[in-house]
Amino acid sequence: MDSRQRVALCLSHQTPDRAPMDCWLSKETWDKLSARYGGAGREAILNRFDVDFRYIEGPRYVGPPLARGPDGGWEDHFGVPRRVVHYGSGPTAGSYSEVAASPLASATCVEEVLAYPRWPSPDHFDYAPVREQAARARDAGRVVVFMGDRLNRCAQLKPAMYLRGVEQILIDLAAAPDIAAAVFGRIADFYAEYAARTLEAAGGAIDILFTGDDFGTQEGPFMSPAVWRVQLREGFKRFIDIGHTFGCKVAHHTCGSIAALIPDFIECGLDILNPLQPGVAGMDYGAIKRQYGDRLCFHGAISIQQTLPYGTPEGVRAEVRDRFETLGPGGGYIFCSAHNIQADTRPENVEALFDACRELGRYS
């Protein structure tokens, strides 16, 4: 059974030969594995682990030049300045970019939001490379996924946090809902057209559109379900409808405690929910599987905060067994870490993860 057959059965809530596997790693973890395997590239590593999914890069930015600073800082296509932050040392060292300033933080009315000169345009991207990217992955018998990077992923709340500031956009939800709606609306308009053009360019060769927007904290959603429905549901469903129009299954990534929003996700037509983050309030895997497992597939659930960085290979194996026994019955579960595996995880534990998934995730 190849990856495409395996995943198709899984997503139709049937049992394939084994639960499908996906692979999310930070750049530093990719580099560690490459060094461990004699300079192997990413494709060779994915094949070594028999990973079923392949993420394509997607459209290429060709818009107005984006500012870059001598210190490595840069400006994204929303006009948000970012700076590079380094952390750790030795084998756990890494880096990431964070928002240096939120250019819409001082806006006091809808007119100021709409007049912002740096709203991105779908015309700022070249979609031509997408067809070849998708065809290459499909020809290898793998499932083709378009997710984009953190800035090119269909979302609403996260980009609003970058533009407006985390605290301010949450205040807006209560004190200035018209401003929040204007920000979300402009973001959704951009991503909807961007996604549609990407899927069209692929010529039907993309299997899964993966959206991503963190709706939860460790204790619960950022907002009540009622507010989510008013402010974010329309855009969320719009992305799903676009994916379905082009024949894709649609997955959504949201960290945090979001059990209260799952019924809305299902009503909007979502096919796959990632990651069922471990260790947060109210995310009882067994209860979620029993209540929603006939209508929703699950992806993720392996801890990158505890088990992978701090556990032993035996502990990793035990967690894989638990997730399969809890989320795997009847199909509808895809093994993956709950987020990118970080530099603090030893390569031995990454190997243990995929070895255990292949062995313990078998239905027959």
Mean pLDDT of 354-358: 98
Longest dimension (CA), the chain: 60
Residues of the chain above pLDDT 90, percent? 92
Residue spans per domain, the chain? 3-65+105-360
* Crossing angle for the helix pair 177-202 and 157-164, to the nearest 10 degrees: 120
Range with the lowest mean pLDDT among 42-56, 89-103, 198-212, 321-335?
Answer: 89-103
Per-residue pLDDT, 89: 86
Q: Would you say residue 273 has pLDDT above 80? A: yes
pLDDT of residue 92: 82
Tell me which of 18-22, 80-84, 256-260 is least confident.
80-84
Average pLDDT over residues 279-292: 96
Over 80: is that where the pLDDT of 151 sits? no
**Average pLDDT, integer, range 22-27:** 97
pLDDT of residue 152: 84
Q: Once rounded to an integer, what is the mean pLDDT over residues 87-94? A: 86
Flag whether pLDDT at 235 surpasses 90.
yes
Mean pLDDT rounded to a whole number for the chain: 96
Considering the entire predicted model, what is its pTM?
A: 0.96
Which of 59-73, 101-115, 186-200 bottoms out in mean pLDDT, i.e. has the lowest?
59-73
pLDDT-derived band at 157 (thresholds 50, 70, 90) equals very high
State pLDDT tens for residues 296-337: 999 999 999 999 999 999 999 999 999 999 999 999 999 999
Q: What is the pLDDT of residue 28?
A: 95
- pLDDT score, position 86: 87
Give the mean pLDDT of 118-131: 97
- Dump strand ranges (E) for the chain: 53-56, 60-61, 74-75, 81-87, 94-99, 125-126, 143-146, 208-212, 249-253, 272-274, 297-302, 333-337
Q: How far is CA 65 from CA 72, 75, 97, 114, 195, in A?
A: 15, 9, 19, 22, 22
CA nearest to 32, candidates 360, 356, 342: 342
pLDDT at 62: 96
Give the mean model confidence (pLDDT) for residues 64-89.
Answer: 90
Of 135, 148, 161, give the one whose Cα is nearest residue 61: 148
In the numeric block, which tokens belong to residue 253?
Answer: 């990534």
Pairing of β 74-75 and β 81-87: antiparallel
Give me the pLDDT at residue 283, please: 95
Structure tokens at 67: 């500012």
Select from 3.20.20.210, 3.20.20.120, 3.40.50.1860, 3.40.228.10 the CATH code of 3-65+105-360.
3.20.20.210
pLDDT of residue 20: 98
pLDDT at 71: 80
Q: What percent of the chain has pLDDT over 70?
A: 100
